[in-house]
Chain A
Amino acid sequence: MSENYYIEEASQSDKVAAGSILYLDGVTVSFDGFRALNELSLVIAPGELRTIIGPNGAGKTTMMDVITGKTRPDKGDVLFDGQIDLTRLDESRIANLGIGRKFQKPTVFENLTVFENLELAMKSRRGIFFTLRHKLDAEARDRIAEVLKTVGLTGKEGWQAGALSHGQKQWLEIGILLMQDQRVLLLDEPVAGLTDAETEATAQLILDLAKQPDRSLVVVEHDMEFVRALGSKVTVLHEGSVLAEGPLDEVQNNPRVVEVYLGR
């Protein structure tokens, strides 16, 4: 798509971080003197599944805000695909580059139907006049049906999204991300408020998604059972920077981690 080409051209960074899909280096964000992120450095490889944990206020959500363009860092580099400088782009452009995000609080379009929620998310050109003339074709309907099945909402496509249960909304939002067909998925507490069975199913869904080699997932979560079920490399954030990184068992036995987080 020519549109993306121009974006990449315009925000081509002079730095290059080969072999990474997301590259954060020395990222600092302050709000009124409070350092939400403090020299945060983090590298996500293409196709990687990464779990991020940390106590409240560790900067997990702020990190996602920085990657998706909602918050501009005071300093530091944020690169996508090793070369695109994300700090110069706004939310919609970053989304069009291939980074999708699930919010902490499930955010779906409550007054639209489940079907319409997915339709809006479907990958297509986003221009106003294109959107004004856009018609769904059979292929698109099949794709929506497929995602409905994946997130267990088949038969509920005509429902108003506002009428769904909390868990169903979480899943609809994941469905929205799937429709976007993004290369990076950022999931902020995807199992918050879910039942145990739903949590288990969500873990399985995320593992399935992670199987695709060209897709990277970054999951922020508090639920240790869930983190264990994902079995991925874990990054622990504390006071805006990385405290430890590695497999869950190793991290859990790290004395510094025990001190600030798990040991409380």
Chain B
Amino acid sequence: MILSRLASSQSDRRFWLGFIASALVLCLLVPLLNALPEGSALHLPNYMIPLLGKYLCYAVLALALDLVWGYCGVLSLGHSAFFALGGYVMGMHLMRAIGTRGVYGNAELPDFMVFLNWKSLPWYWFGFDQFWFAAVMVVLVPGALAFVFGWLAFRSRITGVYLSIITQAMTYALMLAFFRNEMGFGGNNGLTDFKDLLGFDLSQGSTKMGLYLASAILLGGSLLLLRHVVATKLGRVMMALRDAESRVRFLGYSTTHAKLFAFTLSAMLAGVAGALYVPQVGIINPSEFSPANSIEVAIWVAVGGRGTLVGAILGALSVNAAKTWLTGAAPEVWLFFLGALFILVTLLLPKGLMGLKKRFSKAEEGHV
């Protein structure tokens, strides 16, 4: 008992050291390096800031998936849908914030609606001129979809590969729907040409830095929130149902409710990540719903090590860094690389990078 508590406080200490060190790097070192004069060897170019911010949003998405996959054993291959929905909600607000500065100068209607000859704003666009309304919707829309979808799926006891397939179908259906101009979300082109957010000009370096820092804070906050959730008794119920679901039912817990809680919370986090992603990349379009995107998220989590929250972050950051580098250096090999990576991790590193770390530390202990 005492021994296990000591060990847990030791790993606790290691976690906090890592957390604070990462926070210092992300929130102090990065802005500092960016502020260095352009000629300096250590100068971090401006274009890197939104890129890093994008990675951090992806890391939040990976964390969200890890909660349902790594802890509840529910492999959702539709998590990009929640990310994209959060992104669309933010995009709608940014579109309304353009006001009369659009090409057609229409104060009410976004450009694409004027182009389609629409006369008035569809009812579901009402309220999005208000930031607070959009902020609420960023959480509510993906959360509501996840709640309804999860309720139907988990109540019918759809698990394993069947669940993965219907989540793929869900994101694919959303992609097709958002491609349609009649949906009123900009069709093929999606939403773009954003000008400002809360009055801050999105083309300004300082705004980009602000969004990047917001992403870093979101990531840190999400990590701490999920770390708390999985350490509660409910977290142990989740891990238990991942390993022996019917046993958990016979203990009197509703596994439907536990999974639904995780799935909905996860979708909400994914939505917030998507909402911070969109102003940094400047566009949201239906391709974000593409089934392949969701599969890529699962690969990040697998590479980092599912069931370890830090692993999900490491996986998302490392795979995306590799992607940025490879798609620049040799774009034709990227998909092969991604496929090979997934196969190698599955075969050689079933616990991902975090498993590798554990193996090394065990070897060290062995030498001592």
A119 x B1 contact (CB < 8 A) = no
The segment out of A10-18, A92-100, A204-212, A234-242 that lies at the interface is A92-100
B253 x A126 contact (CB < 8 A) = yes
Most buried by B among A68, A100, A121: A121
Given A92-B249, A119-B233, residue A109 in contact with residue B239 (CB < 8 A) = yes
User: A91 to chain B: which residues have CB within 8 Å?
Assistant: 246, 249-250
Q: Which of A95, A109, A116, A133 contacts B250 (CB 8 A)?
A: A95
CB closest chain-B residue, reference A125: B252
B239 x A101 contact (CB < 8 A) = no
Complex CA–CA separation, A238 to B299 (angstroms): 51
Contact flags B86-126 to A (C-beta < 8 A → 1, else 0): 00000000000000000000000000000000000000000
Q: How far is the CB of B282 from chain A (nearest CB, A)?
A: 38
Complex CA–CA separation, A132 to B257 (angstroms): 12
A132 x B233 contact (CB < 8 A) = yes
A109 x B234 contact (CB < 8 A) = no
Among A160-218, those with CB < 8 Å from B are 176, 180
Q: Which of B229, B236, B261 contacts A112 (CB 8 A)?
A: B236
Residue B258 CB within 8 A of the other chain: yes
A126 x B252 contact (CB < 8 A) = yes
User: B3 to chain A: which residues have CB within 8 Å?
Assistant: 158
A interface size (C-beta, 8 A): 33
Complex CA–CA separation, A96 to B252 (angstroms): 5
User: B253 to chain A: which residues have CB within 8 Å?
Assistant: 92, 120, 126, 131
Most buried by A among B3, B236, B246, B261: B236
Residue A44 CB within 8 A of the other chain: no
Residue B4 CB within 8 A of the other chain: yes
Contact flags A114-138 to B (C-beta < 8 A → 1, else 0): 0010011100001110011110000
A95 x B249 contact (CB < 8 A) = yes
CB closest chain-B residue, reference A180: B251
Most buried by B among A95, A107, A112, A128: A128
A110 x B251 contact (CB < 8 A) = no
Given A92-B254, A95-B249, A95-B252, residue A120 in contact with residue B232 (CB < 8 A) = no
CB closest chain-B residue, reference A103: B247
Given A111-B239, A119-B236, residue A158 in contact with residue B254 (CB < 8 A) = no
Complex CA–CA separation, A93 to B256 (angstroms): 12
Q: How far is the CB of B9 from chain A (nearest CB, A)?
A: 14
Residue A21 CB within 8 A of the other chain: no
Residue B276 CB within 8 A of the other chain: no
User: B233 to chain A: which residues have CB within 8 Å?
Assistant: 119-120, 131-132, 134
User: B250 to chain A: which residues have CB within 8 Å?
Assistant: 68, 91-92, 95, 100-101
Contact flags B225-259 to A (C-beta < 8 A → 1, else 0): 00001001110110110111011111111110110
Complex CA–CA separation, A141 to B317 (angstroms): 41
Q: Which of B236, B252, B255 contacts A116 (CB 8 A)?
A: B236
Q: Which of B232, B242, B251 contacts A132 (CB 8 A)?
A: B232
Residue A70 CB within 8 A of the other chain: yes
| Contact residues on B (Cβ < 8 Å of other chain), bracket | 20 to 34
Residue A157 CB within 8 A of the other chain: yes
User: B248 to chain A: which residues have CB within 8 Å?
Assistant: 120
Complex CA–CA separation, A177 to B131 (angstroms): 52
Complex CA–CA separation, A100 to B252 (angstroms): 9
A109 x B247 contact (CB < 8 A) = yes
User: B237 to chain A: which residues have CB within 8 Å?
Assistant: 120, 131
User: B234 to chain A: which residues have CB within 8 Å?
Assistant: 128, 131-132, 134
User: A116 to chain B: which residues have CB within 8 Å?
Assistant: 236
CB closest chain-A residue, reference B261: A128
Q: Which of A109, A134, A157 contacts B232 (CB 8 A)?
A: A134
User: B4 to chain A: which residues have CB within 8 Å?
Assistant: 113, 158
Contact flags A75-100 to B (C-beta < 8 A → 1, else 0): 00000000000000011110110001
User: A121 to chain B: which residues have CB within 8 Å?
Assistant: 251
Complex CA–CA separation, A70 to B248 (angstroms): 13
A70 x B246 contact (CB < 8 A) = yes
User: A90 to chain B: which residues have CB within 8 Å?
Assistant: 249
Given A91-B246, A132-B232, A134-B232, residue A112 in contact with residue B240 (CB < 8 A) = yes
A132 x B240 contact (CB < 8 A) = no
B232 x A111 contact (CB < 8 A) = no
Given A119-B236, A131-B232, A180-B251, residue A157 in contact with residue B1 (CB < 8 A) = yes
Complex CA–CA separation, A134 to B261 (angstroms): 16
Complex CA–CA separation, A112 to B248 (angstroms): 13
Residue A52 CB within 8 A of the other chain: no
Q: How far is the CB of A144 from chain B (nearest CB, A)?
A: 11
Complex CA–CA separation, A111 to B42 (angstroms): 45
A92 x B252 contact (CB < 8 A) = yes
Residue A108 CB within 8 A of the other chain: yes
A120 x B244 contact (CB < 8 A) = no
* In the complex, the 8 A-B pairs of residues with the closest C-beta atoms, listed nearest first: A95-B252, A91-B249, A96-B252, A109-B240, A158-B4, A131-B234, A134-B233, A132-B234
What are 11 sample pairs from A and B whose C-beta atoms fall under 8 A apart? Answer: A91-B249, A110-B243, A113-B4, A120-B237, A128-B234, A128-B257, A131-B232, A134-B232, A157-B1, A176-B251, A180-B251
A interface, CB within 8 angstroms of B: 68, 70, 90-93, 95-96, 100-101, 103, 107-113, 116, 119-121, 126-128, 131-134, 157-158, 176, 180
Instruction: Supply 6 further A-B pairs (C-beta < 8 A) apart from A91-B246, A120-B233.
Output: A92-B249, A92-B255, A101-B250, A109-B244, A128-B254, A132-B234
B interface, CB within 8 angstroms of A: 1, 3-4, 229, 232-234, 236-237, 239-240, 242-244, 246-255, 257-258, 261
